[in-house]
Amino acid sequence: MKLSKWALALGIFTSVALLAGCGSGSSNSSDGVTTVKVAWRATGKGDSMYRIYSKKWIADFEKKNPKIKISLQPINASEGDYFSKLDLAMKSADTTPDIVNEDTFILPADAKAGYLEPLDSYVAKWSDWDKFTAALKKGSQGSDGKQYGIPGTTDARGIWTDLVVTKKAGLAADWAPKSWADILTAAKKIKQTQPNVIPFAMGVSTTNGESVSMQTFEQLLYGTGETLYNEKTKKWNVNSKGILATLNFINQIYNKDKTGPSLSVVMSSNYGSTIFQDRIPKNQVGMAMDGIWNTGNWSKDGAAPIANMTKVLAFNLMPTEKGQKPGYVTMAGGWSWALPKNSKNKKAAWTVMKAMNTKQLAVTRALQEGTLTVRDDAAKDPEYLKKPFIKEATQALQNAHFRPKNDLYPKVSIAIQQMVESVAAGRKSPSDAAAKYATDVKGIVGDSNTDTQK
């Protein structure tokens, strides 16, 4: 019975492999040394984090703290998959990293899920905490008002304006929009003078995810004087004038004036790279709504270098609807560092966390990433002030709004993206889309948690 003997052997082998080979002991804290695992969403060898938290920095830290070892655990994934992976990992003490990088829009939801450790008692004893920008600290709180994250980086959004294009359209060299109407007028002028140029670009497709909610819809909405969510009454804004005005603006650009990018550009998941890596460097976009981080893209070592970036481009602030005070508006987001509740090494992790967020490293990070710093003292650093467009961005931050500190925001955000897409694609009228949004939001947060802002 050779055949069955062979089968038996294979069966036994597999079972042994299963039982013996699979188990992987979690090895830690032999000889009293604790390994602190730091997880973030990474982009390969050239990732900026490797330059900020370099081998030398780690070695220096470990020399000063012989009981702690730092292990960088980059996660290669799309943005959405990154959050899924992190959430799954944080569910168990066996798999959780000890420090995680969280996007501030998802932080309240993860806090509510019980994945994160409240940091209030930690920061109370940390002298540096006063140096962090007050508004940004709030951006890393949960819906219960507790501090769940240490801000790592922030950003500001505005209108990237191509001066070559605006000049040809007959606009003044120092042109800056004072109201939404100014944008529409300029876009029409660009369209008339330069048919091959995209006059005004903003993301509207659900494939572009959260950025559509934040930097298209919310940046417009907050310019009407309304907000998405009232933090005091805890009610979500639906059926309001501001929402309709926002959708009308999007409709005007994409369907009436046709001054937006073609639908095949804007509906693609590659919208961002098409506009910012391909078309802008070729002077084929008049205005584009996006974040300050693009300077990193256009710098000498970036993916799409632009020589004399500061001469060719302007970073204009997003005006309010009719130019009402304070005149301009921006949405700020960013990433924060947090401590997972399931980590067994919270004490050591906090030591690492403090070391990761010094003033010097805050400056380095902002310079490396093209983002804005989260510390008031770093913002005064001469090196930091040399960054391109830093003056405009810092000014923008003074009127920055943050997304709702509510764990349901990620779900509402999906409803926003669908609303914006249906208007831009011409499938729904602004009022129909707004009505659908009201229904969707009521389904997510409950009837009683919505009202109409005036």
Partner 1 sequence: MMRENKTVRFVQYVVLAVIALLFLLPLLWMLFSSIDTHAIQAIQLPKQPTLANFMAILTDSNIMRSFGIGLLVSGFQAIFVVLISVLAAYPLSRYPLPWKKPFLLSILFLTSLPMTAVIVPVYQMFLYLKFQNSLIATTVFMISTSLPYGIWMMKNFMDSVPHELEEAAWIDGSTVWEGVRKVVLPLMLPGIFTIGIFTFTGSWGNFFVPFILITSPEKLPASVTIFQFFGNNGLVNYGQLAAFSVLYTLPVVILYTFAQRYMSQGFSFGGAVK
Partner 2 sequence: MDASNVIKNKPHKTQQQKTERRLSVWLMLPSMILLLIFFLTPMILTVVFSLTNLSLTGEAASSLHFIGFQNYLQMFKDPALATSIWNTIVFVLFSAVIGQCFFGFLIAFMMRGKNKTFRRIIGLIIIAAWVTPEVVVGFCWVAFLGDNGTLNMLAHNLLGMKPVAWLYTFPMVSIIIANVWRGTAFSMMVFQTALDDIPQEVEEAAVMDGATRWQLVTRITIPMVKGTIATNIMLVTLQTLGVFSLIYTMTGGGPENATSTLPVFMYKQAFVSYQLGYGTAISLVLLLIGALASLLYMKILKVKI
> Considering the complex, what minimum distance in angstroms separates the CB of residue 92 from partner 1?
5
Q: Would you give the DSSP letter of residue 340?
A: B
Q: How far is the CB of 442 from partner 2 (least distance, A)?
A: 14
Q: Mapping DSSP to helix (H, G, I), strand (E, B) and coil, where does residue 289 land?
A: strand
DSSP states of 396-422 as a string? HHHTEE-----TTHHHHHHHHHHHHHH
195 binds partner 1 (CB under 8 A): no
Binding partner selected for residue 324 from partner 1, partner 2, none, CB under the kind-specific 5 to 8 Å limit: none
Q: Is 166 exposed, middle or buried (0-12, 13-18, 19+ CB in 10 A)?
A: buried
The DSSP secondary-structure symbol of 237 reads E
User: Can residue 9 be called a binding residue for partner 1 (CB under 8 A)?
Assistant: no
CB atoms within 10 A of CB 450: 17
Report, in Å, the least distance between residue 317 CB and partner 1: 19
Q: E strands along 203-344, which residues? A: 229-230, 235-237, 285-291, 313-316, 318-319, 328-331, 335-338
Binding site for partner 2 (CB under 8 A): 1-4, 7-8, 10-11, 14-15, 18, 80-81, 83-84, 87-88, 106, 109-110, 112-115, 205-207, 209, 262-265, 267-270, 407-408, 410-411, 414, 421-422, 425, 427
Closer residue to partner 1 in complex, CB, 32/44: 44
CB of 22 to partner 1, least distance (A): 4
CA neighbor of 375 nearest in space, from 133, 195, 55: 133
Q: Under the criterion CB under 8 A, does residue 81 sit at the interface with partner 1?
A: yes
Strand 68-75 relative to strand 34-41: parallel, antiparallel, unpaired? parallel
Beta strands in 76-148 (DSSP E): 99-103
Q: State in angstroms the smallest separation of the CB of 59 from partner 2.
A: 35
d(CA 358, CA 379): 13
Total binding residues toward partner 1, as defined by CB under 8 A = 54
6 is a contact residue toward partner 1 (CB under 8 A): yes
| Angle at 210 (CA atoms; ends 206, 212), nearest 5 degrees | 60
- The radius of gyration computed from the CA coordinates of the chain, to the nearest angstrom, equals 24
- Pick what 425 binds: partner 1, partner 2, none; C-beta below 5 to 8 Å, kind-dependent: partner 2
Stretch that binds partner 1, among 84-92, 120-128, 253-261, 353-361 (CB under 8 A): 84-92
33: three-class secondary structure by DSSP: coil
Smallest distance from partner 1 to CB 13, Å: 10
Residue 59 binding target from partner 1, partner 2, none, CB below 5 to 8 Å by type: none
DSSP state of 331: E
Please identify, using beta-carbon distances, which residue of 95 and 255 lies nearer to partner 1.
Answer: 95
Residue 273 interacts with partner 1 (CB under 8 A): yes or no:
yes
Question: Quick one: which of 440, 436, 434 has its CA closest to 408?
Answer: 440
Query: Do residues 322 and 308 touch, judged by C-beta distance below 8 A?
Result: no
List the one residue from 139, 158, 291, 430 that touches partner 1 (CB under 8 A): 291
Q: How far apart (Å, rounded) are the C-alpha atoms in residues 248 and 418?
A: 15
Kindly write out the interface string for residues 44-63 of this chain, putting x where it contacts partner 1 by CB under 8 A and - elsewhere.
Answer: xx-x----------------
Q: Which two tokens stand for residue 325?
A: 């005070």
* Residue 22 or 173 having the CB closest to partner 1: 22
E strands along 209-277, which residues? 229-230, 235-237
* From the list partner 1, partner 2, none, partner contacted by residue 15 (C-beta under 5 to 8 A by kind): partner 2
Least CB distance from residue 99 to partner 1, whole Å? 14
The token duo for 418 is 């669908």
Applying CB under 8 A, which of residues 276, 384, 389, 402 lies at the interface with partner 1? 276
79 binds, among partner 2, partner 1, none (CB under 5 to 8 A by kind): partner 1
Kindly state the smallest distance separating residue 243's Cβ from partner 2, in Å: 19
**CA–CA dist 194, 399 (Å, integer):** 34
Nearest residue (CB) to partner 2, 11 versus 327 = 11
Task: Out of 89, 165, 186, 332, point to the residue binding partner 1 (CB under 8 A).
Answer: 89
Please report, as a single letter, which amino acid is at residue 76: N
CA 73 to chain centre: 20
Q: Identify which of residues 240 and 343 has a Cβ nearer to partner 1 in the complex.
A: 343
Nearer to partner 2, 112 or 131 (CB): 112
Query: CB neighbours (10 Å) of residue 445?
Result: 20
Give the residue, chosen from 7, 12, 59, 385, that forms a contact with partner 1 under the rule CB under 8 A: 7
- Give the strands of the sheet with 157-162, arranged side by side: 198-201, 285-291, 157-162, 313-316
What is the Cβ-side half-sphere exposure of residue 316, based on CA atoms within 13 angstroms?
Answer: 27
Is 230 a binding residue for partner 1 by CB under 8 A? The answer is no
**Interface with partner 1 (CB under 8 A):** 2-3, 6-7, 10, 14, 17-18, 21-25, 41-45, 47, 73-79, 81, 84-85, 88-89, 91-92, 94-95, 208, 211, 268-274, 276-278, 290-291, 293-294, 297, 303-304
